[in-house]
Structure 1
Amino acid sequence: MTLAKHIVLIDDETDVVEAVSEMLELEGFSVSCFTDPNAGLKSLKPNCQSVVLCDVRMPKIDGLSLLGLIQHRVANVPVLLMSGHGDIPMAIEAMKLGAFDFLEKPLNTGLLTEKLNLALTQSQQNQSTLIQSDKSIEHEIESVIIGQSKSMDAVRQQVLALAHTGVDTIINGETGTGKEVIARSLHQFSPRKMKPFVAINCGGMTQSIIESELFGHEAGSFTSANKLRIGKIEQANGGTLFLDEIESMPISVQIKLLRVIQERVIERVGGNELIPVDIVVVAATKADLVAMSESGEFRADLFYRLNIASVSLPALRQRKEDIQMLFRHFVVQAGLKYKTRPSTIYPEQIQQLSRHQWPGNVRELRNVAERFLLGIIGDGFNLNSPSGEPSAEDFAFEAQMEHYERNVLTEALIVTAGNINKVSSKLNIPRKTLYRKMKKHQLDKENFKT
């Protein structure tokens, strides 16, 4: 079967199907025939480059209804309708609703072939545009959610899938894993991206403050309320509301938030008017909300209402293969921020980064990158620069060759996570020679394992 010339033929009359399919096959098309419209509909797969040729008048389903179902299932597949003379008004209406064209029975072979070829060309162009769009989006998200590990690739795919659904989502992860980056990505790659993204940290706020922040208040509703205040939920109307550290939200506020999520309406503090809001709620937590729900520290009904979908972020120590890429990214960002040229990153320093356990996760790595760029020593882990300035001996040919050899070995060990067989294969040197050179340069494979 040649996919580029594939026609899905749907007609409830067996003799018509047989005659038309024979005609099309003689003209070089491959044809899948269906007398049941539902079976024909189910045969259409996402990203297919087929064209549908179907009758308008069928007992189980009419052409207009089938057109709508096809558009919902595979939006970019062209649909040509066949109609008797009495069904032309219906066919014209179908064209207004997005049908590619219609042909009157009895069919003219030349005209039918011409129309189908035009439709196939459009189908291929539509598919090419979709592929380019998908690749563009994938490239764009890789510059936002950074990492080459399988776990982060899975996170990127999950974010793209969830962004189009508009469902409320919980993001789980340790402090510093990048939960707000994921929340912003869910907004950025959604149809709401031109609408507001409003973030609020629920930690460290009293009940009265967070209630006013979320819901707003009417003028005079309490002593210091001199004028009307629009709350964060109302500000996010049409867009995304991000609730960070939601586990810190007081129970009484959780009850009011649950109503907002269920009914999509708010009531300002001190007010009586119900204000409709169109929002997607993204919540982030470093706590185990299931355990908190069971112990009564967090409302179970709110948890289950928010947890329609969830994204779990791995700790940085669980994806050490991403450390080098992230560190270089943060150093470049810091260089732009402080208008300073990035320093050379030595293999020994990459080893230091890989050995560290990163309790502060990506946030800690960013801080280390900024301190490295600025050449300052801060609290916690510090990336020590190579000791001493280069001497004249360091520029000698043999010294430079030794340094180059050490760099090559180090890079290969980093890429392979200390796997000697892979390093031996990658560098095309025997294992015995590899071990000898590693011993000479004091390189331990254990230091490179992730």
Structure 2
Amino acid sequence: MATLLLIDDDPEIVAEQLRSTISGLGHRVEVARSGAEGLKKTANRPPDLIFLDLRLPDQSGLEVYQRVRQIDARIPVIFVTTAKGADAAIEAMKQGAYDYLFKPLDLHQLRHLIGEALEVSRRMREPAVVTETASDCDIEGAIVGNCTSMREVYKAIGRVAAQDVPVLITGESGTGKDAVARAIYQHGVRSRAPFLALNCAAIPENLLESELFGHEKGAFTGADRRRIGKFEQCNGGTIFLDEIGDMPLTLQPKILRVLQDQTFERVGGNETVRTDVRLIAATHRDLQVWSREGKFRSDLYYRLGVFAIDLPPLRDRGDDIEMLVRHFVKRFSRELSRDVRTVSPEAMSQLRDYGWPGNIRELQSLLKQALLRASGPVLLPGFLPEMLVGGSDSANPSSTPANDLNLESFIRERLHPDVTDLYDETHREVDRLLLKLALENSGGNQHQAARLLGIARQTLRLKLRELGMRVTQSVETEDGDQS
């Protein structure tokens, strides 16, 4: 349960809107009618999120914000202001405020911001515990495992956390790169400063530069006021850029400059902005290969790769699979109000034999599905999704869950508060179905399937590898190659 603190001398309407927005989520709203009262509440029991009016009876909102930063700079602060207060709100963003809203509040925007800011707060505060046994902790996002390769990951986190240098985390999708990034942040010298994460693949190319570096008023159509980007907003803290391998080539020189000089310009501006951030990046791409092929700047790759951590895929982690299964069954049983206490040997054997192309993220998803079907205290093979029947052969596209994918049902099953990767998971399942049907249509001919999909054959092959899919027959392509 999260606590939202509203600091406002006339809080009735805004407080009611906050309570209405979070209704049913178990969060609570506290109110302070002055800056002094808000600071006292913050010091005594730091909230998860603060809404702060710029105009208070005893002091300005900016003064209160600066004091909040001294108490705990990790608390996301959203300013609430009138249109006339826009300049002050932008100044607050430059000092690290999370965002600002204009009165009267847009409830749709409010709902989105609360969810986003609470997730940021959770990432900063909830330990990314490195634990060797599933019983050591019961924290969402904890790094669990004791195989040899994971022990090397733990050592690497310990070596680099306090060094304040860039870190590149590599590994297949779903291996837990975000948890490793949080562990580096939490054990580093900036652990009391903000931590912001951004997925470069999830933001349209034309918006990503503004999201990272901000823009000036009039920089492009719709830019009706100055925007402060993540690198300026997170001054003094840590930025985690997930899927940096998908960042457009045109934007990569600005990232390189930030790494080298800690300076940049906002989109449409000439003012040089200075910042002080630590950059942690992650990708499932092979950046060394991509740089040779001209898809990623080699100088940026070398700069990012000063210290690299490679995460092993779940299929190579041996007994860690059983440990992770028990860990997630315990946690998800509580979250989903199920009474499953153990996993039968037969079910565990199927889970061990499966190839896990989606790694830990797929394991979490399938265990949630199984628990929702379960009855009684033991997780039996009959509760597992049909795709697990046949063990590792289920990596074949003909037996993936996308074979019978009902998209609406798939999404609805996952619409609950603890899910944080529904976008990626849904697109992954759609890709499974789309690629499978395209290959069936072409008789297994990858050249024809890629042409049907409107993508390069190399892209199709890469997607097949990422999804753990394989074509069961070789077919001569139009140019004579084996597909």
TM-score by length of 1: 0.52
Match of 1:208 in 2: 206
1:371 aligned onto 2:369? yes
Q: Superposed, which structure 2 residues align to 1:117-132 within 5 Å?
A: none
Q: Structure 2 CA distance, aligned partners of 1:265 and 1:321?
A: 46
Match of 2:179 in 1: 181
Q: For residue 130 of structure 2, what is the aligned residue in structure 1? A: 141
Q: Secondary structure at the match of 2:164?
A: coil
Residue 250 (structure 2) pairs with residue 261 (structure 1): no
Shift of 1:379: 6.5
- Deviation per CA, 1:324-379: give whole Å up to 9, x if none: 11111111221232233334311111111111111111111111221122117787
* Shift of residue 382, structure 1, vs aligned partner: 4.6
Higher CA-based Rg: 1
Aligned pairs (5 A) from 1:2-401: 140-142=129-131, 143=137, 144-375=142-373, 381-382=387-388
3-state DSSP of counterpart to 1:320: coil
The code of the aligned residue for 1:173 comes to G
2: CA distance, partners of 1:178 / 1:241: 17
Displacement, 1:169?
0.9
Aligned length: 247
8 Å CA contact 1:368–1:383 kept in 2: the answer is: no
In 1, distance between residues paired with 2:228 and 2:237? 15
Contact persistence 2:174–2:360 (CA under 8 A): yes
Q: Which moved more, 1:355-364 or 1:329-338?
A: 329-338
Q: 1:381 to 1:164 in 2, by over 3 A?
A: farther
Secondary structure at the counterpart of residue 230 of structure 1: coil
Distance in 1 (CA, whole Å) between partners of 2:360 and 2:233 is 30
Q: Distance in 2 between matches of 1:380 and 1:185?
A: 35
SS of aligned partner of 1:211: helix
Q: Distance in 1 between matches of 2:204 and 2:129?
A: 39
Runs of 4+ in 1 over 4 A off after TM superposition: 376-380
Q: CA deviation at 1:190?
A: 1.0
Given residue 150 of structure 1, which amino acid in structure 2 is its aligned partner?
Answer: T
Paired with 2:221 and 2:318, the residues of 1 have a C-alpha distance of 53
- Quote the offset at 1:241 in angstroms: 0.9
Relative distance call for 1:229 and 1:342 in structure 2 (3 A) is: farther
2:273 is aligned with what amino acid?
A: I
CA distance in 2: counterparts of 1:276 and 1:139, whole angstroms:
30
Cα gap change, 1:266/1:339 in structure 2, threshold over 3 Å: closer, same or farther?
farther
The RMSD of aligned alpha carbons is: 2.2
Label 1:346 to 1:378 Cα distance change in 2 as closer, same or farther (>3 A). closer
Tell me which amino acid in the other structure corresponds to 1:247.
G
Query: Structure 1 CA distance, aligned partners of 2:335 and 2:355?
Result: 27
CA distance in 2, matches of 1:278, 1:314: 32
Give the residue type in structure 2 aligned to 1:335: S
In 2, Cα distance between equivalents of 1:336 and 1:208: 42
Percent identity of equivalent pairs: 43
Deviations 1:274-326 (A, max 9, x none): 22111111111111111111111100010011111000000111112101111
Structure 2 vs 1, CA of residues 224 and 179 (structure 1 numbering), >3 Å: closer, same or farther? same
What is the 5 A alignment of 1:419-434? none
- One-letter amino acid matched to 1:235: Q
Q: What are the Cα deviations for residues 67-118 of structure 1, in whole angstroms up to 9, with x where unaligned?
A: xxxxxxxxxxxxxxxxxxxxxxxxxxxxxxxxxxxxxxxxxxxxxxxxxxxx
> Unmatched 5+ residue regions in structure 1?
1-137, 385-450
